[in-house]
Copies of this chain bind each other. A is one copy, B any other.
């Protein structure tokens, strides 16, 4: 049973597209082992916030992947409701 999650990273002021792509690649290198799929990431270099959308069995799996990749998240929310 998969669910969707939004997690938030802080302290990434000045992050570039290349740095975000590298961090995202590290996450993806670890996602299969946890049954996680990162779907999208957005960054605000001014505030240093990064938002990741993922599909995963639970919050802990997402957090473990981020930790293993060296990208520990500060907050995570399960988002069972969405509107396109």
The reply to whether B40 and A82 form a contact with Cβ atoms under 8 Å apart is: yes
Chain A contributes a number of interface residues (CB within 8 A of B) equal to 28
Partner among B46, B47, B78 whose Cβ is within 8 Å of the Cβ of A46: B78
Whether A66 sits at the interface, judged by CB under 8 Å, is no
What is the distance, in angstroms, from A64's C-beta to the closest C-beta of chain B?
Answer: 20
Whether A21 sits at the interface, judged by CB under 8 Å, is yes
The reply to whether A42 and B84 form a contact with Cβ atoms under 8 Å apart is: no
Closest B residue to A28 by CB, please name it.
Answer: B83
What is the distance, in angstroms, from A38's C-beta to the closest C-beta of chain B?
Answer: 9
Name A's B-contacting residues (CB within 8 A): 4, 6, 15-17, 20-21, 24, 39-47, 49, 51, 53, 77-84
